[in-house]
Chains A and B, each alone.
Chain A
Amino acid sequence: MKIQILALWSYILFSGNEFIIFQSFAQEQLYPKSIYHKRLRPDSLAFKELNYIEFDENETEDEETSYTTKTNPILRGNADVLVKNSAFIFNGSGFRFRGYDFRENQLYLNGMPIRNLERKYPGYNYFLGITELLYSKTIERGNNSTTFTPGGLGVFTNFSVNAHEFNPKLRLRYSSANRSYRHRVSLNYHSGIGKSKWAISNILTGRFGKGYFDGTFLNSIGGYLGLSKIIDNHSLSLNILGGLLNNARPSATLLETRALANSLRYNPLWGLDHNKERNSRIQSLYQLYSQFSHTWRINTNAELKNNLSFTINSQVNSSFDWFDGTNPSPEYYRKLPSFYQLKNQQSVADLLKTFLKDNHNALQVNFAKIRDIHKNVQNNSEDNSGIRAHYIIAERVVNRQQIAISSTYSRKFSSFSLYLGLFSAGEKSNNFMRVGDLLGANYWLDVNNFFPTDLLHESYDENPEQLVQNNLLSPNRKVKTGEKYRYNYDLFLLNNQLWVQGILSLEKIELHLGLSMDHDLYFRQGHTKNGLFPNNSLGRSQINNFLSHQQKIGLSYKVNGKNHIYINALHNSQAPLAENLFTAAYLNNIITDKSKLTHNYNIETGYQHRSELLALHIDFFLTHSRNVRHIYRFYNDEFLSFGQYSLPNIHKIYYGTELGAEIQLPLHLNLSLITSIGNYRYINNPTAIITADNSPNISQTETIYFKNLPIEGSSQNAYAVSLFYYDPNFWYVGIHNVITHNQYAYMNPVRRSLPAIIDINPNKDQAKINEIFQPLKLPLQYFLNLTGGYSKRLKFKFSNKDNYGYLSFYLNVQNLLNRQNIISNAFEQLRYDFRRQNPNTFPARYMFAMGINYSLSVAFSF
């Protein structure tokens, strides 16, 4: 019981994708005898119906969209936490729990982690929009005592999805929205567990339509099939989740192009192709996840859970690829007036500005021009093989297969609880590029299209013909649509975990202790022999093993019935992610220095008060992370090539305080306040190891001056005030005021190094140096959001028992004030103009939040 209460205190949940939801306090825990509670929320089926449709879309399919504009996620508390005052939504803001990387938070399905091993993003994409499955869940803070996970710095969420846990129900739901899609249809059938002890569940969900921003859309189908059988104290379940997704997303834009386009929905990624709107960047996903679970309730005090899962996942991201030409993006810096302004050609800049203002098509991708280029090439071509493509739509494909097993054993003694767990997963991910569309040409030549011939590198005189080959096994290959090119490699990953946790609960004191061990293994298997890296691109890389561990301890003291305080401490080490271990997995087997693991140290203390009218929770936390790794990949103007800055030793500190308060007011009103005030920053000047894709010889180091700069991407301060009204007649309405600030644009490490300012005289122009080094602070974001729901019991019922029909409505309106220029996130471009030492040649890109946007759901169930 105590554990549950502790768990419920984890009132702040944020999903892995930049949303936060402040999950408030579990009311029935807070107000066990509260008349308010009873009056406000009778445990009626009508209100329960609302639970299912209050899940708005969470656009979490894509782990890489951490940068896109989000609508609200909605992960509601468990069924009884209910309603309304418990979720505050930071619409589209980049709030992350305590400023940590999203990957500190993980999702579990029936006690088993769901994620890929390569990037370890929390596995929202497994659900493919089937939000009904997100309804029954447990949220735990990883540094506290936990029940299904060894924990960690972040927040851990376990979704319990089993056919037998759904009540018998047939539900049809339709939602209309103007966010990333227009329509959503969902059909649920749950048989419930009958006399046969069999249960079956089916959910089919489709989402269709254009998105809020120009040129975006989302079409997806997701299906769930669940089967359960209960035999005595065993329950066996099969859960199959699968579906397809096709999504064109908006891009971060330059302020300059957005202003020229004079559109708040400007998106540079699309253009007209044969008079049809076409987005150059589309993400497609195909996924099939199946999980077999077995739960054995050995007795009232002991339980064993076993899971076995298989995942097949294919992700395709399309974008332009080109050679011998300029970037086809309309935002390419040489196509913009600002470029001419920098060159002091004001008249050209003005002319171009006028032209672009009058011709908004010029601010979109010009497919017609690409097709024209290919036609002209044809005229000049003497080769019989047809037109060599200069521009193509390329597809980056990742095919993953994963098999995983997990077991969790829990045992309760009189005042002691024990949890034991193991998890083991193996994954193969095949990565390659593929020609998606030749755009009127006949073939693409598979050679290194960024090979700089004008550089004077000594080693290049060996055999230039060989050096430009992407694959020496098939040199100068002519690639057709659908064929692979450039790179092709497999990553093999293995993760084993063993953990144990004990919780001792005495009258005044509760103590928990947790330990876990992790083993990670990665290696790469290259299928191409790159001309620049002939000796370390083909074949198997070295095998990299990592052993990491975690220990945590916590003490909680009950001052009296209403107040208690606690203190928790955690230390863990973390293996590098595969994506941060291989410097350039798409090219070679080279790995960064792997001798140091990341270490995290966390301490937190908190105070909780609960009485009939007030619930209050204050905590303070301090986290220190050492040797965090990050690899920046970008076009490096110094080497005229794509390249990497690998930072293996970033030290960070996070400290701050969180507060959650909930006050029951008369007249069925409920007021809540949530704040998160933090200070997250870098505390050292890490070393960057600089490498370039066009030369095996370039490898230099540079100090990156990050010390004291803020950790970017997440607002460091966030406040939410909400007021809800619950009507006894099964409807409610609530407003949220959400403010986030102290958020900074993602920083370019190049700008914080000596070469970036080497030609600026600090005695004369310190201001310019400041401008280059100063992080870009985003303006304060303010949102006013509204939610409301109503559930009506219909007069008829279909089967026997209490299976009444219900009609439910749920409305969610965000940014009610329609504020149009809220910047939700920003990114400094990683390209830097060394020549002019000017940060404005490649200015920051911005993501904007949507103006007023809504989602309205209607559900009919019986």
Chain B
Amino acid sequence: MRIFPLVYVLGYICLFFSCQKNEITFPKISDDETGNTSIMELKKQYKNPGTFWTITEDIRISGIVIANDENGNFYKKIIIQDSSGGIAINIDGYELYKEYPIGRKLNINCKNLTLNDYAHSINLGFKINEDQPLLLPIPRKITGNYIKKGGFDYDLKPRLVTISQLSTDLHDSHQNTLVKLEGLQPSMRDKNKTLADPNKRWPSSSYTLYDCQGNILVLRTSSYSNLASEPLPTDNGSIIGIFTPYFQEKIADKAKRDEKNITLRNINELDFSNPRCNNNPEELRKAKQKRTKKY
């Protein structure tokens, strides 16, 4: 019967020296949800440029964030992309990159949101005024009603394209997607310039980039962005950025009307370290244009 005290005393000693662990369980963001519509399918339902289409059906899209306001080159907007295409979502607020970092998956419940285009670049936002409609960014406080945040660090590789593969069509598949172009160079006239004006005398700067065949792409950078003071390189190389059309309806000249824009996300995606083209693409382009005019 002497066993009893021993058992209890030993039990006590065991517990006395036992230690506590706090193994926290963390919530996992569920990424199972996918939209019921691809981004391109949604965009194709928006048929006439310059109109406002407020979505009344249950349309849900899903995509990966490819651009945000982190470096200030995009303002009150983020861009998401899926395998079919990309779309800009206008959100009212600053520091959107904290909530919508690049590589984050988002599920968008499009019901009650509105599609509209800016020079053929399609945006998703919030409509006000029935009579004279205006597309506003989605108010920050209610973004939660429309945007469901998913997981992080989805690695979305840029599509390798050439300038001629891009078009300013309303439903161009590369519009608002992450693209990579190689063998581009700026004009020698733009030597010693910065990407934009850090003194903000004008809101943004545009530089024409040429490929060796004389096709052009316009690099647009906001003067309010962190990239504004970066020097514009002079060599030839590759660029990764968001392609957007800048279709100016009122201009009759097709060459000038169909402006193709690229917007940088960060300076590392500009890699111009190769020697320039042997020929002069600018001359080539002028010659091309002359030829076009002749006919």
Q: List A residues at the B interface (Cβ < 8 Å).
A: 454-456, 559-560, 563, 565, 606-607, 609, 618, 620, 656-657, 659, 675, 677, 679, 685, 703, 705, 707-710, 716, 742, 753-754, 757-759, 761-764, 769-770, 773-775
Contacts and interface: CB of A to CB of B under 8 A. Distances in A.
B165 interface: no
A618 B12 contact: yes
B4 A565 contact: yes
Which one of B1, B9, B24, B152 has the greatest number of beta carbons of chain A within 10 Å? Answer: B24
Interface string B8-30: 11011001101011111111010
Taking residues whose C-beta sits less than 8 angstroms from the other chain, chain B's interface range is 20 to 34
A708 B22 contact: yes
B142 interface: yes
A769 B149 CA distance: 17
B146 to A, nearest CB: 12
A703 B27 CA distance: 8
B203 interface: no
A455 B141 contact: yes
Nearest to A707: B25
Contacts of A754: 27, 29
A592 B143 CA distance: 28
B101 interface: yes
B139 interface: yes
14 contacts: A560-B1, A607-B7, A618-B8, A618-B11, A656-B15, A685-B25, A705-B25, A708-B21, A754-B27, A761-B153, A763-B153, A764-B152, A774-B22, A774-B24
B12 A456 contact: no
A157 B89 CA distance: 65
A759 B11 contact: no
Given A620-B15, A656-B15, A657-B15, A763 B25 contact: no
A657 B12 contact: yes
Contacts of A770: 24
Given A560-B1, A753-B27, A761 B22 contact: no
B253 interface: no
Interface of B: 1, 4-5, 7-9, 11-12, 15-16, 18, 20-27, 29, 98-99, 101, 139, 141-142, 149, 152-153
A561 to B, nearest CB: 12
Contacts of A657: 11-12, 15-16
A764 B16 CA distance: 38
Contacts of B152: 761-764
Nearest to A619: B8
A677 B19 CA distance: 10
A685 B11 CA distance: 30
A759 B12 contact: no
Contacts, number: 82
A757 B12 contact: no
A707 B15 CA distance: 21
A714 to B, nearest CB: 14
A770 B25 CA distance: 10
A762 B152 CA distance: 8
Contact of A761 (B16, B26, B101): B101
Contacts of A764: 152
Contact of A710 (B9, B22, B141, B149): B22
Contact of B20 (A618, A707, A716): A716
Contacts of A609: 5
Contacts of A705: 24-27
A456 B153 contact: no
Contacts of A606: 8
Given A607-B8, A620-B15, A762-B152, A708 B24 contact: yes
B213 to A, nearest CB: 41
Contacts of A709: 22, 24
A618 B98 contact: no
A40 B17 CA distance: 36
B141 A607 contact: no
A618 B9 contact: yes
Given A563-B5, A759-B99, A759-B149, A677 B20 contact: no
B68 to A, nearest CB: 12
Q: Which 5 pairs show the lowest CB-CB distances between chains A and B?
A: A607-B8, A754-B27, A761-B152, A657-B15, A707-B25
A262 to B, nearest CB: 34
Given A563-B1, A677-B16, A708-B21, 18 more contacts: A456-B141, A607-B5, A607-B7, A609-B5, A618-B12, A620-B8, A620-B12, A705-B25, A707-B25, A754-B27, A757-B26, A757-B27, A758-B149, A759-B98, A759-B99, A759-B149, A763-B152, A764-B152
Nearest to B15: A657
Contacts of B18: 679
A764 B11 CA distance: 43
Nearest to A675: B16
Nearest to A702: B27
A716 B16 CA distance: 12
A232 to B, nearest CB: 48
B142 A456 contact: yes
Contacts of B20: 679, 710, 716, 742
